[in-house]
Amino acid sequence: MPEGPSVRKFHYLVTPFVGQQVVKTGGSSKKLHPPDLQSLWLLDTQVHGKKLFLRFDPDEETETPDHNPLPEPLGEGLQKEDASCQKQAIGPNGLKISDGSSELVVPKADDGLEYSQGDAPAGGAERWLEVRFGLFGSIWVNEFSRAKKANKRGDWRDPVPRLVLHFGGGGFLAFYNCQMSWSSSPVVRPTSDILSEKFHRGQALEALGQAQPVCYTLLDQRYFSGLGNIIKNEALYRAGVHPLSLGSHLSPSRLEALVDHVVEFSTNWLQDKLQGEQQHTQVYQKEQCPSGHQVMKEAFGPPGGFQRLTWWCPQCQPRVPPEEPEQL
C-alpha cells in the first residue's frame, strides 16, 4: 500500500473540499453504497500513518474542525507550481496523484480489497469514513484514471473507481483501489506516526532495541506508522545498518541514527511529492549502491509473517554481529 508520504499527500488533495456538500456520487462500491453520501457535508479530513479519514455530516457546520491545513512552506510550493512542467497538479484544479511506478498498473474493479464494517450511513454515530489504500491505491482530482497499458486479457480498460464524490463547488474526487469502512472516530496514534510532530522517538528507539532484526521492527505500524518498504530500505542503508542486525546488538547512537534517517527520508519524500518531484532512492530496487558496490536482494520477514523484498549493500551495511548466519 502507499506509504505515509503518499497518503499525507492524498490528505492535502482532499483538504480543499472540506466544507463542501456532496451533490452527486458514483463508483463501483457495493458494500459502501455511495448514494448514502449524497447531500452530506465533508467537514474534516485527517491522516494517520497509512490511513485517511474523512468526516461526513448531514448538516453544515458554521465552523469546520481543524483539518490540518498545508504547512506554510509546502502550501506555498504547491500554489506556485508551474503546471506546464508538472505531470501532477495539486488541489481541486489539479490532476492525478499516484505512487511512483504504480501508475503503470491498472487495478481491477473487483480486486477484493473493499470491505465495510457495517453499511451504516454517515447520518448516525458513524460519521468517519476510513480509507485504506491498496498497493496501487490513489486519489484523482477532477479527472479519472486512464489505462496506461493493456491488462492481462489484452484489454485497454480504464480502472474503475471505488468511489466518486462530486461537490457543490464543482470539483470531484475519485478513489481507486482502496478499502473503506465507517467508524465513530479516527484511529489516532500520532505518537507512532513518522510524519507527525508528536512522533515519540523514545517509544520508537525502545522498540528498535528488541532482540529481533531491525527490518521487522521498522515495518511494525505500532511504532512506525506510515513506514513502508521503501522507507525501510532507504533508512537502513543511510544508517549503515544491515536489515537482519538484531536491535539489541546495535549501539544507542546507531539506533538514534536509524530513527533520524527514517524521519528525514520520509519528510524529504513528502516534500518532493508536494513539489511534483520524483523520489530519490539510493538502494531500493538498485543494482549498485552509490559507492559502486553490488546490492543484494532477499525477502525477509518474521517466521510465519509477511515477507518483504529487501535491498542492502553487504559492504556499506555490515551484519552485527558478523558471525550470525544470514536468514534464508
**What residues are labeled active site?**
2-3, 50, 308
Q: φ, ψ for residue 248 (rounded to 5)?
A: -70, -15
Q: Give helix 201-208 / helix 252-274 axis angle, nearest 10°.
A: 120
54, with CB counted inside 10 A (0-12, 13-18, 19+), is buried
Q: Could you give the angle at the alpha carbon of 144 between the alpha carbons of 140 and 150, nearest 5°? A: 115
SS (H, E, C) 76-88: HHHHCCCCCCCCC
User: All 3 cell numbers of residue 227?
Assistant: 513506514
User: All 3 cell numbers of residue 84?
Assistant: 506546464
Using CA atoms, how far residue 318 sits from 147, 209, 243, 260, in Å, is 43, 18, 9, 19
Q: How far apart are CA 262 and CA 76, in angstroms?
A: 25
Residues 6+ apart with CB under 8 A from 289: 237, 282, 283, 295, 313, 315, 316
